[in-house]
A and B are shown apart, each in its own frame.
Chain A
Amino acid sequence: MIELKNITKTYSSGGGVINAVDNLSLKVSDGEFIAVVGHSGSGKTTMVSLMGGLTRPTTGNVLVGGVDIWTLDNKQLALLRSEKIGFCFQFSSLIPTLTCLDNVRLPASFAGGQKGGVDNAMSLLETVGVPDKAHAYPSELSGGQQRRVAIARALINEPGIILADEPTGDLDEYTEADIMNLFEQIHARGVTIVMVTHSRNLAARALRTLVMENGTLTEPSRTSS
C-alpha cells in the first residue's frame, strides 16, 4: 500500500513559492489501478514522484508498505525504488548507449541481479511485443516501441507498484490503446498501478480516477472492478 499523509511540496520560483502539492493525503491499496488526471502544472507528476521517493516532500510523510520512505538511508531507498517500484516516464527514458535487452536488465543489476537474466528479460520483451528489438538501440525504435521496452524494464524486478507518468504522452491513438492494454494485463497480475494522464478517455479505463487541481486531489467517481 502507498500512503501520502498531509504532503506538501513547495518550489521557489521567481522570488515566490509555489505549492506543487498542497497538504495532500491519499491511500492507494494493493492491486488498485488509479488514473490521475489534471491540467499541466496541476502537480500530477510531482505527486507520483513523491510516491516513488524521487523527491522529498517539504512536509508530510510518504509510506510504502507501511514504511516511511524518508526515514530510510540512501541505500535502502535505492533498493526500495529498485525492488518495489517500477517507473514509466513521460517521453523516452531508455539509456541510449545500451541495447533494449540491456536496458531491460539494468534495474535488476541494482537489485542484486537475480532477476536480470537474459531469459527473463527476453520473456518480458515478448510480453510487451518487441522481442525482435532486443539487440537494437533505442534510437532505432519508434516512440511506441521505446515505451514498450520501458514498460518491460519497469517489470524486470517484479515490483508490486508501477508509477506511470504520461506513459502514452506522444503516441498515436492505436499505440496508446496497445500500451493501455499492456497496463491492464499487468494490473490483472495484481500489480498496483498509478498512472498520470491528460486523457480522460485513458483515465476511464482505470478502476479509480482522481482529479488533480492546484496541488490538491478530488475523486469525482469510483468505478467498481
Chain B
Amino acid sequence: MVGILDPTGIGIDDGGFVTLTSVYDMVKTTESNETKRLLDVKPGEISALMVNVKPEYSRGDVATAIETQVSGVAVVTSKELMSSSVARQLEGLRPYMLLIGGGFWIIAILMIGALFSMVVNERRRELGLLQAMGATRAYIFRLVMLEAIQLTAIGGLCGMALGAAVIYVLKGTIEASLGIAYLWPSAGFIAVFSLGLLAMAVGTGILAALYPAIVASRLEPYQAIRTGE
C-alpha cells in the first residue's frame, strides 16, 4: 500500500487499487477457480470504466443510454452524494437562510455597537485624561477602532474554532439525518474561507465601532474627565 485516498463519499471509498502485475500474480497464486475467473483480465482488456456525469445530466439517463448503446456492459450507478430531494430542500431554504444570516449580522452590528458605546462611556475619564496628556482626536478614534478590530478578530477566530468543532463532533449525525456524505473541503478552501470569515468578523467590528469611536474622539476632555469621575 502506498497511500490512502481522501474519502469521496461514494462506493469506491471501500475499494482498493492494485497494479495489473499484482492482479496476474494473484491469479497465478490463487487456488480458487471463481477467483481466477474474476481476476482473469487479459492484457489490453479493461474491467471497469468510471464515468463522471456532469450535474446537469441525469445519471439514470446516462446509465440507460450506455446499457442500450454498448453491449456486454453492466452499469452500476454510485450512491448519491446528496439526494435530489435534500438538495432541492436546501436550495429552497437558501434565501431564508441568507435572510436569517443577514438579520443576525445586523443584530450583531447593533449589539457590538451598543457594547462599544458602553465601553466608551465607561472609559470617558480615561479618554479625557489621554486628551489632556496630548492625545489627538485621531488617536482616540484609532484606539477605539483598534480595540474593536482586536476583539472582533479574537471573537471571529473563537467562533470559527467552535463552529469547526461542532461540525466535527456532529459530522456523523449530519450524514445520518440528511442522508448525504459529509466531506471536508480541501485545506486551501478552508484557509480561504476562514480568512473570508475573519475579514467579515473584523468588518463587522469596524462597522459596529465606527459611531462609538467618533463619539469618543469628539469628547471634550474636561467634560469627559468630570463626568467619568
Contact = CB atoms under 8 A, between A and B. Distances in A.
A81 B136 CA distance: 10
Contact of B132 (A46, A52, A56): A52
Contacts of A93: 129, 225
Given A54-B221, A89-B129, A74 B136 contact: yes
B221 A55 contact: yes
A54 B133 contact: no
Contact of A110 (B139, B223, B226, B229): B139
Interface in B105-141: 126, 128-139
A189 B4 CA distance: 80
Contacts of B126: 95-96
Interface string A134-158: 0000000000000000000100010
B133 A110 contact: yes
Classify chain B's interface size. Answer: 20 to 34
Contacts, number: 61
Given A91-B229, A95-B126, A106 B133 contact: yes
B193 interface: no
Nearest to B218: A74
Contacts of A78: 131, 134-137, 139
A49 B229 contact: no
A13 to B, nearest CB: 13
B134 A54 contact: no
B222 interface: yes
Contact of B222 (A54, A95, A110): A54
Nearest to B136: A78
A81 B222 contact: no
Residue of A52, A56, A81 with highest tally of chain B CB at under 10 A: A81
A56 B220 contact: yes
Interface string A49-83: 10010111000000000000000001100110111
A190 B164 CA distance: 65
Contacts of B222: 46, 49, 54-55
Contacts of A81: 131-134
Contact of A54 (B135, B136, B139, B220): B220
B134 A110 contact: yes
Nearest to A106: B133
A108 B129 CA distance: 14
A183 interface: no
A198 B136 CA distance: 32
| Closest 10 pairs between A and B when the two form their complex, measured CB to CB | A82-B134, A110-B134, A55-B222, A54-B222, A49-B222, A107-B133, A54-B221, A78-B136, A87-B132, A81-B134
Interface of A: 45-46, 49, 52, 54-56, 74-75, 78-79, 81-83, 87, 89-91, 93, 95-96, 106-107, 110-111, 153, 157
Interface of B: 126, 128-139, 220-223, 225-226, 229
Given A78-B131, A78-B134, 14 more contacts: A46-B222, A54-B132, A54-B222, A75-B138, A78-B135, A79-B134, A87-B132, A89-B132, A90-B229, A93-B225, A95-B126, A95-B129, A106-B133, A110-B134
27 contacts: A45-B226, A46-B222, A54-B220, A54-B225, A55-B221, A55-B222, A74-B136, A74-B138, A75-B138, A78-B135, A79-B134, A81-B131, A81-B133, A81-B134, A82-B134, A87-B133, A89-B129, A89-B225, A90-B229, A95-B129, A96-B126, A106-B130, A110-B134, A110-B139, A111-B134, A153-B133, A157-B134
